[in-house]
Amino acid sequence: MVKLTVTFLGTSSAAPSKSRGLPAVAIQREGDLLIMDCGEGVQRQVLEQGLGLNRDTTILITHLHGDHVTGLLGLLQTMSLAQRRKEVVLVAPPALFDWLRLTSELLHIGLTFQIRFVPAKRGLVLRTQHFDVTATRADHSIEAFCYIVREHDRPGVFFPEKARALGVPEGKLWSRLQGGRKVTIGGRTIAPGLVVGRRRPGRTIGYSGDTRPSKRLSKFFFGVDLLIFDSTFASKDSDKALERKHSTAREAAALAKECHAKKLVLTHFSARYKNVGNLVKEAKAVFPATTAAADGLSIQVDYPEE
């Protein structure tokens, strides 16, 4: 099984605490690395978690509040100091690109690699070798986006006994059929559907960034295997969540339940809470498959059938 790992690099909200850095989440699949948001100091967490600075890297930024972007320039500079040559793909609201160009010039930061800018928008934003990235608008105080990282479907289950019954010898022809290509034996054409089951869905990870819950987001995140959602406040501070366009842990759980997510991870906790146990308790009362993120926590995302 190809591992799909989610590692939390920063799990606080606007202000860091002794145990929580500013928002950043890493997704790894083989040599691919996706980073969701880049809070201040993210490059140190990337190094500490052994994620590497020369992988195929895509960075997804949800919005232009400082706690989600101030680590971006430092991460790119650290990659350059490591003599990175591979292109970095950067998906973000368009205004971020102007900010990045200006600050790079003012601070005389020359990069050793190219950045491919992709403006965030509703719908399909990016297709990589292993993933499709889609986005929708968040309900926040400024322009902001939520993302789904959707792994490409896998071939169906291969049935060796059916292949043998049709006279297909084991080896390259089996591989062709597994890859969805027809083969010809003795003048007969054998289609993959005769020996391979239906394609199997890949894994999906939803990431909210900062947002209020909404029906639109419930529809957008429907059926994701892992939902990472804004849980800045406890229910007792719901007035602050409403005013500042964030969510409570209970609201995150209600959305996870409504969208039939498989698992929910709460994150982006206000530094006012020294212990987030009460937030987790509130959420689990609504959606039991809930856990709290912590800096350095890694989660394996299983295939749906597993």
* pLDDT tens-digit readout, 16-64: 999 999 999 999 999 899 999 999 999 999 999 999 999 999 999 999 9
**In this model, does residue 212 exceed pLDDT 70?**
yes
Q: What is the mean pLDDT of residues 86-107?
A: 95
Catalytic residues: 67
Q: How many angstroms separate the CA atoms of 51 and 151, rounded? A: 20
Which band of pLDDT confidence, cut at 50, 70 and 90, is reported for residue 306? low
In the block, which residue shows the tokens 């990069």?
A: 111
pLDDT at 39: 97
Grouping H, G, I as helix, E, B as strand and the rest as coil, residue 108 is coil
Q: Looking at residue 187, what is its pLDDT? A: 87
State the pLDDT confidence band at 222, using cuts at 50, 70 and 90.
very high
Among candidate residues 136, 290, 262, 284, the one with its CA nearest the CA of residue 204 = 262
Nearest to 19 by CA among 299, 298, 296: 296
Tell me the per-residue pLDDT of 240-271, one tens digit each, with 9 for 90 and over: 999 999 999 999 999 999 999 999 999 999 99
For the ranges 125-134, 158-167, 273-282, the lowest mean pLDDT is seen at 158-167
Give 185's strand partners: 188
pLDDT of 156: 87
Instruction: Read off the pLDDT of each residue in 273-297 and give the average, rounded to a whole number.
Output: 97
Cβ atoms of 143 and 125 closer than 8 Å:
no
Domains of the chain, by residue range, sit at 4-154+200-300, 160-194
In whole angstroms, give the CA distance from residue 100 to residue 119. Answer: 13
As a whole number of angstroms, the distance between CA 229 and CA 136 comes to: 14
**Token pair of 263, please?**
């698992």
Report the pLDDT value the prediction gives residue 155, as an integer from 0 to 100: 84
Q: Which residue has the tokens 């960034």?
A: 209
188-207 pLDDT tens trace: 999 989 989 988 899 999 99
Task: Find out whether 284 and 185 touch, Cβ atoms under 8 Å.
Answer: no
Q: Which residue has the higher pLDDT, 200 or 233?
A: 233
Q: Does residue 178 have a pLDDT over 90?
A: no
Q: Which amino acid is at 140?
A: H
> Regarding beta strands 24-29 and 4-10, do their DSSP bridges make them parallel or antiparallel, or are they unpaired?
antiparallel
Q: What are phi and psi of 5, to 5 degrees?
A: -120, 135
- State in words which class domain 4-154+200-300 has: alpha beta
- Is the pLDDT score of 295 beyond 70? yes
Q: Percent of the chain beyond pLDDT 70? A: 99
